[in-house]
A and B are shown apart, each in its own frame.
Chain A
Amino acid sequence: MKAIRRFLAIPPGLAGTIGLLVILAISLIGPAVAPYNPDASVAAPALGPSAAHLLGTDLLGRDVWSRFLCGGLSVIVLPLIAVSGALVIGCAAGLLSGYLGGWVDTIVTRTVDIVLALPPFLLVLVIIAGFGTGGSVIVIAVAAVYAPSITRVIRSATQAIRPREFVLVARARGDSVRWITLREIAPNIVPTLLVEVAIRLTFAVMFIASLSFLGLGVQPPSPNWGVMVAENRDLLFSYPLPVLVPAIAIAVLAISVNLIADALTIFFGGGRQGQMR
Chain B
Amino acid sequence: MSPPVLLSARALSAGYRDGAGTRQILADVDLDLPENRIVGLAGESGCGKSTLALAMAGYRPPGLRLLGGSVTFRGQTITGRSARQLRRYWGRHIAYLPQDTATALNPALRVGRQIAEVFQLHKGLGRRDALAAGADMLGRVGIGDPERAMHRYPHEFSGGQQQRIAIAIALGPGPEVVILDEPTTGLDVTVQALVNTLIVDLIRAERMTALYVSHNLALLAVLCDELRILYAGQVVEAGSAEQVYFTPEHPYTRDLVAAVPHHLDDKPVRGIGGTPPQSVVLDSCAFGPRCGFRTQACAVPVPLAIRPNGREVRCVRAGEPALAKGRTTDLATANGASAGLPSAAGPPPVLAATGVSVSYTHAGRSMTALDDLTLTIGPGEVVGVVGESGSGKSTLLRALAGLLVPRAGTLEVNGAVVPWPSGRRSQDIRREIQIVFQNPDASLNPRQSVGAILDHPLRKFRPGLDRDQRAHRIREVFGQLRLSPDLLERYPAALSGGQRQRVALARALVADPAVVLCDEITSALDVSVQASILELLGELRRASGLAMIFVTHDLGVLRAVADRALVLEAGHVRETGVVSQLLETPRHAYTATLVRSIPDPAAHHAEQHPGGSDETRVPRRLRGGPRPDGLRAGDAGRGRCRAGRRPLRHRRGADRQGRRGAGGVAGVDAAHRPRGAGRADRV
Contact = CB atoms under 8 A, between A and B. Distances in A.
Contacts of B402: 171-172, 174
B437 A173 contact: no
**B-side interface size class:** 35 or more
Say whether chain A's binding surface is mostly helix, strand, loop, or mixed: helix
Given A276-B446, A277-B497, A169 B507 contact: yes
Given A165-B439, A276-B493, A277-B497, A173 B460 contact: yes
Contact of B445 (A163, A174, A184): A184
Nearest to A271: B19
A171 B457 CA distance: 12
Contacts of B446: 188, 276
Contact of A165 (B423, B437, B493, B663): B437
A165 B442 contact: yes
B403 A172 contact: yes
Contacts of B442: 164-166
A172 B400 CA distance: 9
Nearest to B670: A163
A207 B440 CA distance: 45
B461 to A, nearest CB: 8
B67 to A, nearest CB: 24
Nearest to A184: B445
Contacts of B423: 174
Contact of A166 (B398, B425, B444): B444
B444 A173 contact: no
B443 interface: yes
B437 A276 contact: no
A277 B496 contact: yes
A173 B447 contact: no
Interface in B404-461: 422-423, 425, 427, 430, 433-435, 437-448, 457, 460
A214 B202 CA distance: 73
Nearest to A176: B423
A169 B430 contact: no
A51 to B, nearest CB: 54
B662 interface: yes
Nearest to B447: A187
Interface in A154-194: 163-166, 168-169, 171-175, 184, 187-188, 190
A178 to B, nearest CB: 13
Contact of A172 (B401, B439, B497): B401
Contacts of B448: 187
A277 B439 contact: no
B443 A166 contact: yes
B435 A172 contact: yes
Nearest to A164: B442
B403 A171 contact: yes
A167 to B, nearest CB: 8
A185 to B, nearest CB: 9
A168 B422 CA distance: 11
Interface string A28-44: 00000000000000000
Contacts of B497: 277
B492 interface: yes
A236 B554 CA distance: 79
B422 A169 contact: no
A252 B45 CA distance: 49
Contacts of B430: 172-174
A123 B454 CA distance: 49
A174 to B, nearest CB: 5
A99 to B, nearest CB: 14
A187 B444 CA distance: 13
B642 to A, nearest CB: 41
Contacts of B378: none
A209 B492 CA distance: 44
B658 interface: no
Interface string B482-501: 00000000001100110000
B661 interface: yes
A111 to B, nearest CB: 26
A172 B422 contact: yes
Nearest to A172: B401
Contacts of B427: 174
Nearest to A270: B19
Given A169-B435, A169-B507, A172-B401, A277 B444 contact: no
Contacts of B441: 276-277
A277 B438 CA distance: 16
Interface in B318-365: none
A93 to B, nearest CB: 22
A174 B425 contact: yes
Contact of B662 (A165, A168, A276): A276
B437 A168 contact: yes
B331 to A, nearest CB: 31
A190 B446 CA distance: 12
Contacts of B434: 172
Contacts of B422: 171-174
Interface string B81-104: 000000000000000000000000
B398 to A, nearest CB: 8
**Nearest 8 Cβ contacts at the A-B interface:** A187-B447, A165-B437, A172-B401, A164-B442, A166-B445, A165-B442, A165-B443, A174-B430
8 contacts: A165-B443, A166-B442, A171-B402, A174-B423, A174-B425, A276-B493, A276-B662, A277-B493
